[in-house]
Structure 1
Amino acid sequence: MGGAICSGILFNITGNKSPSFLQNHYKLGKMVDGSLVLNNFECVFLYYKKRIDPVNPFYRKSTNLLRDLLKDDGEGELYIVYETLKIRGYYVKRENDMLFARKSPRGDYMGPIIVRRENSTTDFSYLYSNTPAYYFTLDEDGDITAFLVTAEEMNGMNEEKIPDDIKIEKVGGRFVTDNKDIPDWYGQRFKDLRILSDFETGYHKSDDKDRSLNRIYGELIDRRFIVKSGFKYGAHFRAYVKNIQEHAEFLIHYLDGPEEWYKISRAVRVANGVRKRMIFCGFIENRLLFVEIKRIRDPLKDQQTDG
């Protein structure tokens, strides 16, 4: 009866089982000349299932085995998610630093599944370039929080136009207008004037500071959204699809560099708590693009437990 091999390490199979039994039961490895050939994650999985035992006593100490099989940074966290998927009965494959999983040998793969620690960072380009994707985030207690990241087109339905010829003047350090033709939601009413926000001011003054945020604001207006400050929710903007009498459907935040996952998670939780969708935006090749990030409570809930 053949054994198993992984990265040049030989293993005996325990419990008087055959290599083909392990392959069929656990949905892993491949048979070569009567032996079960495993990749590193498959090997660690069966080792902790006590289904294989190293022939060399040196590798019977788990730290010695793991040091040789999980060498790169982040592989420990990636393996934890791999094991979680396997226990739920998935067929799992690894491609570089991503996982893909499916329910049956001929089913569609779910993924990519990208694993991050709570203090890991990401940037907008990476998020957008890998959509759609699941992000499994491990906190310091080893718990997994799952997110789904998808690309969004972002178009509103607001019919009220902002006149191009609004005259604005600076009063008391703020820009104001006495134009009577602007929509009710534009600016803040003060007596017979409207006090404009910094973004509303920037929409009319091309030389204003913070041009990236001004450009985002302007593009959202041009996409027929009603756009107001998102400060009270910890975001740059809140956006209304059609009118301001309804609740804002979106919170929108600009990512201009690396961001920690715990901050992304916090933003998603806040948005969920106030019944809004959390949108992150950024520039790629000078194009303004958008992704939605939402928490997925249990993407694996339909799976059976591995025996």
Structure 2
Amino acid sequence: MEATYDEDDRRVRVTDDARQQLYDASGYGEPLDGNAVSLSTVEAAYLLSEGKLGDVDGDGYTDFVRRAVDDFAVLRVYTDLRDRGYYIDHGEELRLYRRGEHPANASAVGRVVVAREGDDVSLSTRIHLLAVADDDGDVTYFDFARVEPDGDFPEPSRTVRVEERGGESLVTDASVLEPPRYGASAEEGRVLSDVETAYLADSGFVDDGSRYTDGVDDRRLAVYTDLRDRGTCPRTGFKFGSDFRVYETTDDDHAGFLVSPLNPNGSLPVVELSRAVRLAHGVRKTAVFALVDDTVEYVAVERERP
């Protein structure tokens, strides 16, 4: 098959019955008139490496990659997924099809975002799969899903009086706060965290509570408030490297989620994402990141093995 590279549109045109051999048989590229196929430079590089193209304008794999492939991380991810048996559409982005589903007969299940280990990733955009190409040449995949925490924890039965003692907020009438699991047990009652006190004050459960909301991080309070309003019980997640561990039912002593607010643009370094996911997995929990805007959205992230 004759393959030529167009510098202007950065595509490789392959003729000589390329449609039947490349697109119809294996889903490579886009079909053109006259049984030709248009390939991205990444697709062409992969086919060169597999010996399914002899050359492109006389260039073999190494010379063609040097000349035409701008992002070697994308090529590594494309190669890894193809080697796993997936059809991949590579136009302006990588779009993944279920294993065995040909692009001519199916819709892509979602887009694959490629990152290097030093990059940031935005969770505010819809991602089906994040593929991180690390410095060892390996590819790690992360799956993203919107989740809706939902619980059955009650509200306090009435307002309480908070006493400030030694820099802590103490509620001596502890029985009011035990069923919804507020505060930490102390000899004289229950000691509330700053975010718990601020939430109870904002919700009208603390007498004369307006002064307790000062100095509390707005995004952290917004996430705590939303979680409580959903009936869940957020508790400190400090020991697990997160802001909150979240319980959904009063019958369960196991918190299923570890939740942390994201910065305003919804992004974080992929190394922090990887660390959070591994820590959560190690304690049988799911890492969840909270996007705070007019509402709060929750994105669960887990390791994926395609």
Give the letter for the 2:259 counterpart: I
Q: Distance in 2 between matches of 1:55 and 1:84?
A: 22
Mean Cα displacement is larger for which, 141-150 or 85-94?
Answer: 85-94
Preserved contact between residue 17 and residue 36 of structure 2 (Cα < 8 Å) = no
1:42 equivalent in structure 2: 43
271, 274, 278: which one aligns with 1:265: 274
Match for 2:239: what amino acid? K
Match of 2:289 among 280, 290, 295: 280
Are 1:167 and 2:168 counterparts?
A: no
Q: CA shift at 1:136, angstroms?
A: 1.4
Contact 1:148 1:294 in 2 (8 A): yes
Query: Which consecutive residues of structure 1, in runs of 5 or more, have no partner in the other structure?
Result: 300-307
> In the alignment, is the contact (CA less than 8 A) between 1:155 and 1:224 conserved in 2?
yes
**Cα-to-partner distance string for 1:86-110 (whole Å, 9 max, x where unaligned):** 2333322124233323422223423
8 Å CA contact 2:3–2:55 kept in 1: the answer is no
**1:44: Cα distance to partner?**
0.9
After superposition, residues 150-229 of structure 1 pair within 5 angstroms as 150-158=145-153, 160-163=154-157, 165-184=159-178, 185-203=181-199, 204=201, 205-229=212-236
Whole-Å separation in 1 of the counterparts to 2:12 and 2:243 = 56
Overall identity of the aligned pairs, in %: 26
From the superposition, tell whether residues 188 and 60 of structure 1 become closer, same or farther in structure 2 (CA, over 3 Å): closer
Q: Does 1:233 align with 2:240?
A: yes
Q: Residue 216 and residue 101 in structure 1: after superposition, are their counterparts in 2 closer, same or farther (change >3 A)?
A: same
TM-score (norm 1): 0.82
TM-score normalized by structure 2?
0.82
| In 2, Cα distance between equivalents of 1:12 and 1:156 | 57
Gaps of 5+ in 2: 202-211
Q: Which region of structure 1 is more displaced relative to structure 2, 248-257 or 82-91?
A: 82-91
Once residues 42 and 52 of structure 2 are traced to their aligned partners in structure 1, the CA distance between those partners, rounded to angstroms, is 14
Q: Which stretch shifts more, 229-238 or 251-260? A: 251-260
* 1:204-253: CA deviation from partner (whole Å, max 9, x where unpaired): 23334212212221221111111210000000001111127521111111
Match of 1:27 in 2: 27
What CA distance in whole angstroms lies between the structure 1 residues aligned with 2:158 and 2:233?
16
Q: Judging changes above 3 Å, is the alpha-carbon distance between structure 1 residues 141 and 202 closer, same or farther for their aligned structure 2 residues?
A: same
User: d(CA) in 1 for partners of 2:12 and 2:300?
Assistant: 46
Question: Cα RMSD between the aligned structures?
Answer: 2.6
| Count of paired positions | 283
Query: d(CA) in 2 for partners of 1:157 and 1:101?
Result: 38
Say whether the 8 Å CA contact 1:12–1:53 is kept in structure 2. no
What's the CA shift string for 1:47-83, capped at 9, x where partnerless? 22233344645x34724x2243223xxx211121112
Q: Is the 8 A contact 2:169 2:192 kept in 1?
A: yes
Q: Is the 8 A contact 2:170 2:191 kept in 1?
A: yes
Give yes or no for contact 1:93–1:100 (8 Å, CA) kept in 2. yes
**Which residue identity is paired with 2:69?**
L
Paired residue secondary structure (2:28): coil
Higher relative contact order (CA 8 A, sep 6+): 1
Alpha-carbon distance in 2 for matches of 1:228, 1:135? 29
Give the letter aligned to residue 290 of structure 1. Y
> In structure 2, how many angstroms separate the alpha carbons of the residues matched to 1:219 and 1:50?
55
